[in-house]
Every structure is written in structure tokens, then in C-alpha cells.
Amino acid sequence: MQVVKKSESKVLDRSLVELTLEDKAGKISRKEAIALVAQEMGVQPENVALIRMDGKSGTMKVLGKFYIYGSAESKKRIQPRYLAERLLTKEERDKLRQERKKAAVAPAPTEAKK
């Protein structure tokens, strides 16, 4: 693993890390990439967010972009929800969609009339 670029944003409490993963094209999952970056950077996997992974044409290299947050709370506050949903399994995503549907269809509680 080779870090290509690293920049820090103190206002958003996160760092952008771009790195190259050698010989990983087609062999690494999103969760594995997050765990690998967390281990390399010395942070908890809950504080790492995968933005994108791109394969380089004609090679086995993967270019990954990650945000490393200062805390899990700042990650939850700033990171878009769909990025976290990409890490879920198909069954977990379906369950989440069903829960959202039920919440949208359920009528709002009304106040008791006097």
C-alpha cells in the first residue's frame, strides 16, 4: 500500500487519503479495504469511510479514496447515508428499505382530543 495524497480538513474533522493498493484489483471487497486502511493508519474501522475504488487499466493496481474521521460521531454527522449503505449485504439493504417504507406509510400519531 502506497499513499499517493493526504490532506486534512480541521473544520470537518477528517483527512482525505488517496492510496494505491498493489495486486488487489478484483480481489478486495469494500469492507476489506476499509479494514486494511484502518490498520495501516492506526485508527478504528468505524472512523474510515470509503469514497471510491478505481482499477487502473492494464494493471492489478487499485486507486482508493478514503476519508478518515476524527470520531465516529463526526463521520455519522457528515458522511452521506448512501456511502454507508454500500457496505451492507443485499439482505441488510432490503431490510432497511422495508423499514423505511413502513415508516413512510405509517400514519403520524395524533394528539388525543379533549
84 lies in some domain: no
Vertex 22 angle, CA 13 and 69, to 5°:
10
101 lies in some domain: no
53 lies in some domain: yes
Number of domains in the chain: 1
The predicted model scores a pTM of 0.73
In which domain, by residue range, is 25 found? 2-79
Q: Mind listing the pLDDT tens digit for each residue in 44-101?
A: 999 999 999 988 788 888 899 999 998 888 888 888 888 888 888 899 999 998 988 8
Vertex 1 angle, CA 9 and 87, to 5°:
65
Tally Cβ neighbours within 10 Å of residue 110. Answer: 6
100 lies in some domain: no
Q: What is the CATH number of the domain that holds 6?
A: 3.30.70.3370
- Kindly state the DSSP code that residue 55 receives in the 8-state scheme: E
C-alpha cell at 89: 449485504
89 lies in some domain: no
13 lies in some domain: yes
